[in-house]
Structures are given as C-alpha cells and as structure tokens.
C-alpha cells in the first residue's frame, strides 16, 4: 500500500509540474501528497481557463490548507459538496475567543488538530485566524465547489451568523501587511548592507530598488519578472541636465488590471543601473530576472519563489540593525506611496506607478502622512 501511495503521489507531482508556475516551489512535493486527483484536475482546468497566476496560487494554497485541515479534523479528505455542519466546524476551529479558551480547553481548534497542522507546516499563527482569512478560504472553497459542479452550504444563514457573531465576540485591530513602511530612509539603510562584493549583494540591491521604484511591486511580481518584460527606453534628463537610463516594465495582467490590460511601469536612473549590474554579473539575457544563488555562488536557472523576496527583505532589515518583525516585502509597496505623499507627489501620479485601482486604499497612505505631519498632531 505504501508503494501504491508513493506511485500516486509521483504521478500527481508530474501533473503539478505542468502548472508549476502557480505553486510554491518548496512545497510542491507536499502538495502532491496532500491534494487528490480531483483537486489536481480542477487546478489544471483553472489554468486552461486563463485565470491569473496570483489567483491560482492563492486558490492552491487555500485548497491545500483546507485538505490538511479536513484530514486533521475529520480523518477524511475534503468532501464535495461541503455540509453546513463541516463549514460551521471550520469557523469554530478558526474564529475563537482566546480569553474563553483559557478556561475551556475544548473551545476553538482541538489541540490534536492544531498539532497536526503545525507539524505539516500549515498552521503558523498562535491565536485565532483573522476574519478576512477565514472569509477568503470559505470563498475559495465555494469557488472550487462550483468548478466541480457542487454548491455546498456556503449561503447558509447559520454560517453567516456564526461568522458575524465570532467576529463581534473578539474585536481585532486591523494590521497592515507590513507593520512599518519601507520609506526612503529605511531603504537607504537596507541598501547600505548590499556591498559590491558578491552576486547576492548585487541581486538584493536590484530587488530592493526595482521593487520600490517601480511603484512598490508585489513580491509575486518581483519574483516572476522576466527579461522579456523589460524594454529599454530613451534616456530621461535629470535635474542637472545629464541623461538618466530608463526602461519600462510590462507587467501584463496584474491583480488590479483588467483581463486584457497590459500594465506598464517605468524605472529611471539608479534602479536601472542596479538592475543592469545584476543582469550583467549573473549573465542573464533571457528568462527569469531574479534567481536563487546556491552556497557556492552559482546562479540557478529557476526564478525566486515569492516567499524568498520576503526573506531577502527581512534579512537585509536584520543586517541593518532594524527589527525584522516590523517589516516585510509589502513594506516596499506601502513605503512607495507613503514616500510619495511625504514628498508632495500628487496621488494620481503615484497611482500611475503603483497601479493601485482603489483610490480609497491609496489615499489612506496619503492621509496617514498628512496627519502625522499636520498641525492637528502637533498641538503641543
């Protein structure tokens, strides 16, 4: 039986290789063991429909978590369709009151279920899940059910009520994806840790400068950047009249763009120099721009995993003497808009580069910057 399971997992791994671009590289083998044949067939179908890579990656990640939770909580793979009782169990296991759990060990996720998920690397948070995470996983569960021709009880009044009551019972402070923004002063400290002595320094400097200057690109966009997306543009005049190198980055379809819209952002000056220095040193003339480097200093052919971009940011934060827990790769995105606000750059101009579609979201960074420096915050 063990050999049969191994053969099945191997076949799934081969199938998953056909949709490898959307999967976390370091977890592909684990996914092959966890996902069912129907799961893999569904994912392949979604790839063929042209669904965006980021959406597919999120669906895959949530599907893997749901399968792992179902096995841990019920001893069986995820059923299709999901019953109302199972959906309510999922909510009860993930939205609970820490204060009540202190006096009731049975409240929330059972200890044995929690341990199984931690051992498998699926559960990292120490407390209840964020309500938005639970809602997103339920929404993806519902979407995957519909793709399989099933409905489930996702519209159940009891489920909606359970979520609403659980959220009210435990108020949570909304946190940014990065506690602190990587503004220009912070970025300067990170860049100071990148010397010119090895490939990692050149790569990390290019990643930090390109991600920030191109409007605060998401880590998935940075990791997935390919040489074919770069176009050399005519030089731009600097403030002193000297020509500055310029290039455009064709992002294609992004999280905020339309299905057929090619998003384009521009780089000028130092970020272009940093990117060209890395490409020349790594001898990259096609394919993935940012790649892994092994311990012997060899540049791999495979693109960095998006998680690696976050790890690089945190590593440079630590080397700069700052607190890694306060910064993440998303801090480059929030930092770009915060810095633009601090320098008085009009919001529409900054949004052209960041490609934010929501004025409300982008405005929040401007409002925060204005409130911090405004008179209302400096009455004493």
- Say which DSSP state 19 is in: T
- For residue 292, the surrounding DSSP H or E stretch is strand 291-293
**Alpha-carbon separation of residue 311 from 62, 101, 141 (angstroms):** 21, 33, 29
Handedness of CA 328, 333, 334, 335 (dihedral sign): positive
- The CA distance from 86 to 194, in Å, is 50
Q: Which residue has the tokens 């991600």?
A: 211
Q: How confident is the model at residue 18 (pLDDT cuts 50, 70, 90)?
A: very low
- Give the mean model confidence (pLDDT) for residues 16-45: 62
- Global pTM reads 0.58
Confidence of residue 25 (pLDDT cuts 50, 70, 90): very low
Q: How far apart are the first and last CA of the chain?
A: 74
| Spans of all domains in the chain | 2-169, 184-377
Residue 83 has pLDDT above 60, yes or no: yes
pLDDT digits (tens, 9 = 90+) for 123-177: 887 788 888 888 889 998 998 888 888 888 888 888 888 888 877 776 555 555 5
**Distance in angstroms (rounded) separating the CA atoms of residues 48 and 50:** 5
- As its CATH architecture, domain 184-377 has Orthogonal Bundle (1.10)
pLDDT tens per residue, range 246-294: 998 998 755 554 444 568 888 899 999 999 999 999 999 999 999 999 8
Burial of 33 (0-12, 13-18, 19+ CB in 10 A): middle
């Amino acid at each position: 039986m063990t050999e049969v399971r191994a053969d099945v997992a191997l076949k799934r791994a081969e199938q998953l290789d056909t949709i490898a671009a959307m999967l976390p590289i370091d977890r592909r083998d684990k996914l092959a063991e966890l996902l069912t044949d129907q799961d893999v067939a569904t994912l392949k179908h979604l790839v063929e429909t042209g669904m965006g890579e980021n959406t597919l990656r999120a669906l895959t990640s949530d599907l893997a978590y749901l399968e792992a939770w179902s096995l841990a909580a019920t001893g069986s793979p995820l059923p299709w369709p999901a019953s109302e009782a199972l959906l309510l169990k999922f909510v009860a296991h993930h939205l609970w009151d820490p204060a009540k759990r202190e006096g009731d060990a049975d409240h929330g996720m059972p200890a044995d279920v929690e341990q199984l998920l931690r051992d498998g690397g699926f559960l990292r948070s120490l407390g209840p899940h964020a309500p938005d995470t639970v809602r997103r996983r339920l929404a993806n569960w519902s979407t995957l059910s519909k793709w399989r021709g099933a409905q489930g009880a996702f519209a159940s009044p009891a489920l909606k009520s359970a979520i609403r009551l659980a959220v009210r019972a435990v108020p949570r402070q909304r946190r940014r994806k990065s506690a602190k923004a990587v503004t220009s002063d912070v970025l300067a400290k990170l860049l100071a840790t990148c010397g010119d002595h090895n490939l990692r320094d050149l790569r990390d400097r290019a990643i930090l400068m390109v991600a920030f200057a191109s409007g605060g690109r998401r880590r998935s966009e940075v990791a997935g950047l390919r040489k074919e997306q770069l176009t050399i543009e005519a030089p731009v005049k600097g403030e002193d009249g000297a020509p500055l190198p310029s290039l455009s980055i064709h992002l294609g379809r992004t999280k905020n763009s339309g299905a057929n819209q090619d998003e384009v952002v521009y780089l000028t000056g130092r970020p272009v120099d940093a990117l060209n220095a890395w490409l020349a040193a790594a001898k990259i003339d096609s394919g993935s721009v940012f790649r892994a480097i092994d311990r012997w200093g060899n540049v791999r052919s495979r693109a960095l995993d998006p998680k690696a971009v976050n790890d690089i940011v945190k590593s440079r934060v630590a080397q700069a003497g700052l607190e890694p827990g306060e910064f993440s790769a998303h801090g480059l995105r929030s930092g770009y808009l915060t810095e633009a606000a601090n320098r008085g750059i009009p919001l529409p101009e900054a949004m052209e580069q960041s490609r934010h579609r929501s004025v409300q979201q982008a405005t929040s960074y401007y409002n925060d910057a204005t409130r911090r420096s405004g008179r209302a915050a400096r009455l004493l």
